Amino acid sequence: MTLMEDSVGVGDLVLLEPLEEEPLLKNLQLRYENKEIYTYIGNVLISVNPYQQLPIYGPEFIAKYRDYTFYELKPHIYALANVAYQSLRDRDRDQCILITGESGAGKTEASKLVMSYVAAVCGKGEQVNSVKEQLLQSNPVLEAFGNAKTIRNNNSSRFGKYMDIEFDFKGSPLGGVITNYLLEKSRVVKQLEGERNFHIFYQLLAGADAHLLEALKLERDTSHYAYLNQKVSRVDGMDDASNFKSVQNAMTVIGFSETEIQQVLEVTALVLKLGNVELADESQTNGISASGIRDERGVQEIGEMIGLNSEELEKALCSRTMKTAKEEVVTTLNFTQAQYARDALAKNIYSRLFNWIVNRINESIKVGSGEKKKVMGVLDIYGFEILEDNSFEQFVINYCNEKLQQVFIEMTLKEEQEEYKREGIPWTKVDYFDNGIICNLIENNQQGILAMLDEECLRPGVVSDSTFLVKLNQVFSKHGYYESKVTQNAQRQYDHTMGLSCFRICHYAGKVTYNVNSFIDKNNDLLFRDLSQAMWKAQHPLLQSLFPEGVPTQTSLKRPPTAGAQFKSSVAILMKNLYSKNPNYIRCIKPNEHQQRGQFSSELVAVQTRYLGLLENVRVRRAGYAYRQRYGPFLERYRLLGRSTWPRWNGGDREGVEKVLGELSLSSEELAFGKTKIFIRSPKTLFYLEEKRRLRLQQLATLIQKIYRGWRCRTHYQLMRKSQILISSWFRGNMQKKRYAKIKASVVLIQAFVRGWKARKDYRKYFRSGAALTLADFIYKSITQKFLLGLRNNLPSTNILDRTWPAAPYRCFNTANQELQQLFYRWKCKRFRDRLSPKQVEILKEKLCASELFKGKKASYPQSVPIPFCGDYLGLQGNPKLQKLKGGEEGPVLMADTVKKVNRGNGKTSSRILLLTKGHVILIDTKKSQAKTVIGLDSVAEVSVTSFKDGLFSLHLNEISSVGSRGDFLLVSEHVIELLTKMYQAVLDATQRQLLISVTEKFSVRFKESSVAVKVIQGPEGDRNGKLKCKKKGSRCLEVTV
Ligand SMILES: Nc1ncnc2c1ncn2[C@@H]1O[C@H](COP(=O)(O)OP(=O)(O)O)[C@@H](O)[C@H]1O
Ligand SMILES: [Mg+2]
């Protein structure tokens, strides 16, 4: 729902028709009755206290208002907060939110709503949230200690508060600073009818658990305490006990330590107890007034609690030390003075405690000095107050409100109109009441009421409130905004409402009569040194720190600045601060005096609208322009809406702005071009511009995004491509390197093989090829050596008959072994032979010859071998007779034996001796020893023998031999082999002829001219014992059986 569509009256009084007070009030009332408590005058928000919870707050509404611009939704405090916050965040302009209105008009509630809105929309995050929490939680603590129930407001702020919330460039809260103004400390000791002391006292007594109460030595019953109003201890709808818990919790959240909280509560309790210290008038009879403590117990308890000697405290309460340059004078205080001292102490302790709490909160929420920050100030200061009996407090409070009105006038009414003039915009002046003159009346440095009050306080001599009033009357006798009994009398006016000790100021919001009583005192705000010193001496860290001037060594006689001066200077600082910021106004209006919902007292509201200057405000607003901005920043902001000014503009700012607005073809009524600023009449136009800008920003953002994304993708792609190339080059390189390494290794291997092969080829002749042979040779030699050496050690016996011979260990030695065997054997034989004597040689020669002749031919030969050839079987040597037989034969008889001669004719045998000599064979008939036959060996042609074992043989003689004529001889000898061997040798020796010895079974034997054929038959074995039988078979045949 937009502002225009708002059905209940008009949402913006600028649209009010006719513009007069009556319709304005009617409009406000109509809206109020329809629960529309907020109304605009342009950008100023009017808030009428509903005195009831309306369903228009909370996250849902916050979310709604943050998404819309100011005029798009119903008037709301959130919309104002949103404008302020966005302007701070987006336009980098420090903001202040000025909340003004009477006490109970809803200022504090408004400030809380603003803060909660800002907290909800500004940045997020753990850090930010904790800052927000601290900022928000400062409220319950300050309200507990600084708010009280008054007749007008159950939760009236009894101090002024200005809070700077500090943000970073993103609009996230960093922290803040709280400044407090003039706590109404008189409330600590005295309250008006129907009012309460500060909330904390009731909260403490109601909410503290028994344990805490005991520790603080407090009683739960409020009626126990003199400083607490006995009539009102409860406020409807306010739960002191649970609020106490919230305060404790809030203090913890802000960062108060357990000890700090405890100490704060102790000091609070101390104030209550101080009120219960009853004083007694102890004036002495000599006229010296004095006072004392009525009941020591209370003082003792206090002393114990704060660690101070009770006597010391008593002394401080009941006496006063006056110090001059030379001496110290102690005077006793009378009863009233002592009571005053006690109350002053209580007020001072409490107000200092309050300041300490504010400073402690500031410590927690303060922002580092290095950070650049944007600031949003929220001012919730006590409202304009007109009480029955107005005193110094009301005076300064109203002064402050006067100053704030001044700010409003300066910044909205005056400044605006002057600006039009400056900028050369056609303008008809709107009249309004400028309260500068009232401000001057109060704050003027020489002739101001505050300055005069200070002067009066400092003046030596008798000083009293009445002397001050006299002075005022003198100075302001002609002042239009000052009245008193004296000035009235001078003008012959009669006014029964004006007391003698009063003066009246015509404030912008109404006339206020102030009672001058205790002005001096309150302005001096003196606390006797004795008291501050006593407090400083207390063994209570917090209390001690509250009274730094109590240090006895620091005895400066210089007066501290008066309360009025202090307030004036802090208001001046505040004003300076506010002027430096962009103001946002919330003007709170109280609809009735009874805190009643739905009640709208037109008279009451009329007064407020009048002094707030709402009508004038609407008039200026109507005639004027809703928005103005210097050309430079304006162009900078909206340049992007024009084709020619975006993205570059080289001309002047004003031309640029004209170009942009011209292109947008806005109606000329809506715009005015000043000398340095552009003026826009209606907010709608501005919102139109803003909306256009928002859309354009979206477009541009999309464009930037597009280009950026393109760029990012491109660079990303390029990076990837580069990386890919790099990777693949590395990979390829690596692969090639590996391949190369492999090839190289292979080449080296091949090379090595080839080289090896070549080298082996070259060197083969040197070692490899001959090795086997050499080895074989060596092995062969070594086994040969082994074999031979083994043989040497194992040679068989040298006996020639021993034919044994070790076998060859390897087959290859077979031949050699055989050879060796042969050699050995031959060697044995030779050795044997060499050892033979010549005679033995002869014998063996004969034997050899016999073997040559008969071996294998004749059966009797093997038997003959072992029998030595004896030769002489007849004993020829020793028988001379036989010797004779030999005749004249030369040489030895080779053989002498008995033989048988076979008669060739009949085959009969006869014995004969046979002698064989070198040349002859001699046959001698044994019986007829002379008859002998000599046969020359040369005539023996042939000998025949049988192959049998017999001794038969035949001597075949040559035909021509002389003997031969007789024919051949057929003989039988037992030693036929020996005989024939010797005969053979003899023939050989004698005639060099080899005698033919035939071995045959058939031979013929010649007789004279005839020949007989001899046939030898072998008889049965062993039958005859060598004896043979001859049988003549015919004449020509002889058969011999052997
Ligand atoms: N917007 C609001 N909604 C509901 N009640 C409100 C609102 N504003 C003020 N009130 C009521 O009015 C009372 C007084 O308001 P407060 O802000 O303390 O006044 P001020 O600070 O101007 O003296 C509050 O306690 C509350 O009950
Ligand atoms: Mg308030």
Least confident interval from 64-73, 107-116, 306-315, 356-365: 64-73
- State if residue 107 touches ligand 1 by the CB under 6 angstroms criterion: yes
pLDDT at 929: 62
Q: What is the mean pLDDT of residues 869-893?
A: 75
Tell me if residue 728 is catalytic.
no
The per-residue pLDDT for range 358-386, each reduced to its tens digit, is 999 999 999 887 777 899 999 988 777 88
pLDDT at 887: 67
pLDDT at 931: 60
Distance in angstroms (rounded) separating the CA atoms of residues 1 and 55: 17
Residue 4 has pLDDT above 60, yes or no: no
Tell me if residue 150 is catalytic.
no
Element (H, E) at 319: strand 319-323
- State if residue 992 touches ligand 1 by the CB under 6 angstroms criterion: no
Tell me if residue 157 is catalytic.
yes
Q: What is the mean pLDDT of residues 194-201?
A: 93
Look at the block and give the residue holding tokens 């210089």: 558
Give me ligand 2 centre to Cα 898, in Å: 195
pLDDT at 204: 95
Residue 905 has pLDDT above 80, yes or no: no
pLDDT at 897: 85
**Which pair of tokens denotes residue 762?**
């070259």
Distance in angstroms (rounded) separating the CA atoms of residues 335 and 348: 20
Least confident interval from 16-20, 42-46, 579-583: 16-20
Q: Identify the nearest ligand to the CA of 608 by its number.
A: 1
Tell me if residue 385 is catalytic.
yes
Least confident interval from 487-491, 679-683, 776-780: 679-683
- State if residue 51 touches ligand 1 by the CB under 6 angstroms criterion: yes
Residue 629: pLDDT band by 50, 70, 90 thresholds? confident
The per-residue pLDDT for range 949-1006, each reduced to its tens digit, is 888 888 888 776 555 456 788 888 888 888 888 888 888 888 888 888 888 888 888 7
**Interstrand relation of 173-181 and 160-167 (parallel, antiparallel or unpaired):** antiparallel
102 contact partners, CB below 8 Å, separation of at least 6:
152, 383, 384, 385, 509, 588, 590, 608
Give me ligand 1 centre to Cα 261, in Å: 28
Whole-prediction pTM? 0.64
Closest residue CA from atom 27 of ligand 1: 51
Least confident interval from 52-66, 369-383, 711-725, 741-755: 369-383
Which of the residues 9, 106, 377, 383 is marked catalytic? 383
pLDDT at 960: 64
Q: Which atom of ligand 1 is nearest to the CA of 77?
A: 1
Average pLDDT, the chain: 86
Residue 87 has pLDDT above 60, yes or no: yes
Closest residue CA from atom 20 of ligand 1: 104
- State if residue 377 touches ligand 1 by the CB under 6 angstroms criterion: no
309 contact partners, CB below 8 Å, separation of at least 6:
303
Which of the residues 157, 291, 524, 617 is marked catalytic? 157
- Report whether 614 contacts 39 (CB < 8 A): no
pLDDT at 1025: 54
**Which pair of tokens denotes residue 344?**
């002053």
Q: Identify the nearest ligand to the CA of 110 by its number.
A: 1
Residue 885: DSSP 8-state: H
Look at the block and give the residue holding tokens 């005015």: 672
CA 683 from chain centre, in angstroms, equals 55
- State if residue 383 touches ligand 1 by the CB under 6 angstroms criterion: yes
- State if residue 100 touches ligand 1 by the CB under 6 angstroms criterion: no
pLDDT at 6: 47
Residue 663: pLDDT band by 50, 70, 90 thresholds? confident
Residue 2 has pLDDT above 60, yes or no: no
Q: What is the mean pLDDT of residues 278-289?
A: 81
Percent of the chain with pLDDT over 90: 28
Least confident interval from 97-111, 176-190, 240-254, 792-806: 792-806
Tell me if residue 103 is catalytic.
yes
**The one-letter amino acid at 772:** A
Which residues share a beta bridge with 173? 167
Closest residue CA from atom 14 of ligand 1: 104
Give me ligand 2 centre to Cα 808, in Å: 142
Q: What is the mean pLDDT of residues 430-453?
A: 88
Q: Which of 955, 951, 949 is nearest to 933 (CA)?
A: 955
- State if residue 104 touches ligand 1 by the CB under 6 angstroms criterion: yes
Give me ligand 2 centre to Cα 155, in Å: 7
Residue 1 has pLDDT above 50, yes or no: no
**Which pair of tokens denotes residue 615?**
């009508």
The per-residue pLDDT for range 133-146, each reduced to its tens digit, is 999 999 999 999 99
Distance in angstroms (rounded) separating the CA atoms of residues 143 and 157: 7
